């Protein structure tokens, strides 16, 4: 009986641990968009870094067209100074997928000021993911983005 209780307790704890919500770190926010990095999806293997990055658009300032959010799986080869998108999913305002691609892109140019260059610098920072430009992990990134958008709107109207 004691073994059964211990087994059930361990099973319950494992279930609770696996039910942990997805946590995101805010990388960048403006009144137009917020960009988050999925904490548990970061892989670092020598000079190759992979991470899932989600971009959420503010429909009040950006014509979202067919998508409201885009989540891509990025891979940076820090030694070769290359970066590419391995897969991407876009969602509409209701959260329904509008497009899915599991075909990796060609290597993207590291032109200053582009997402590819910015993401390369973040992913290849030797301290990543413990760098100052990232917030501590948060649970509800979509709600956090809405709050960030509201703050930008309040400050820009003053």
Q: Which residue has the higher pLDDT, 127 or 78?
A: 78
Mean pLDDT of 130-136: 71
For residue 155 the two structure tokens come to 């400050």
CA distance linking residue 86 with residue 71, whole number of Å: 11
Q: 133: Cβ–Cβ under 8 A, 6 or more apart, which residues?
A: 27, 28, 122
CA distance linking residue 99 with residue 155, whole number of Å: 34
Q: Quick one: DSSP state of residue 10? A: H
59 φ, ψ (degrees, to nearest 5): -65, -15
Position 37 confidence tier, pLDDT thresholds 50, 70, 90: confident
Position 4 confidence tier, pLDDT thresholds 50, 70, 90: very low
Identify the CATH number of the domain defined by range 23-156. 2.40.128
Position 155 confidence tier, pLDDT thresholds 50, 70, 90: low
pTM of the model: 0.71
Q: Which residue has the higher pLDDT, 28 or 126?
A: 126
Question: Which run of H or E residues covers position 145?
Answer: helix 141-156
- pLDDT(121) > 80: yes
State residue 139's pLDDT score.
72
Position 14 confidence tier, pLDDT thresholds 50, 70, 90: very low
State residue 76's pLDDT score.
96
State residue 79's pLDDT score.
94
């Amino acid at each position: 009986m004691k073994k059964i209780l211990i087994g059930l307790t361990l099973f319950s704890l494992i279930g609770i641990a696996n039910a942990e919500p997805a946590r995101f770190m805010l990388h960048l926010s403006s009144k137009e968009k917020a960009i988050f990095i999925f904490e548990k999806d970061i892989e670092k293997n020598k000079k190759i870094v992979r991470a899932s990055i989600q971009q959420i658009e503010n429909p009040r300032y950006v014509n979202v067209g067919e998508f409201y959010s885009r989540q891509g799986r990025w891979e940076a080869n820090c030694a070769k100074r290359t970066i590419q998108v391995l897969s991407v999913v876009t969602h509409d305002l209701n959260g329904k997928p509008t497009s899915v691609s599991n075909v990796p892109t060609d290597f993207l140019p590291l032109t200053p000021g582009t997402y590819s260059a910015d993401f390369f610098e973040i992913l290849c920072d030797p301290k990543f993911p413990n760098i100052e430009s990232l917030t501590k992990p948060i649970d509800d990134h979509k709600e956090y983005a809405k709050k960030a958008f509201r703050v930008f709107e309040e400050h820009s109207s003053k």
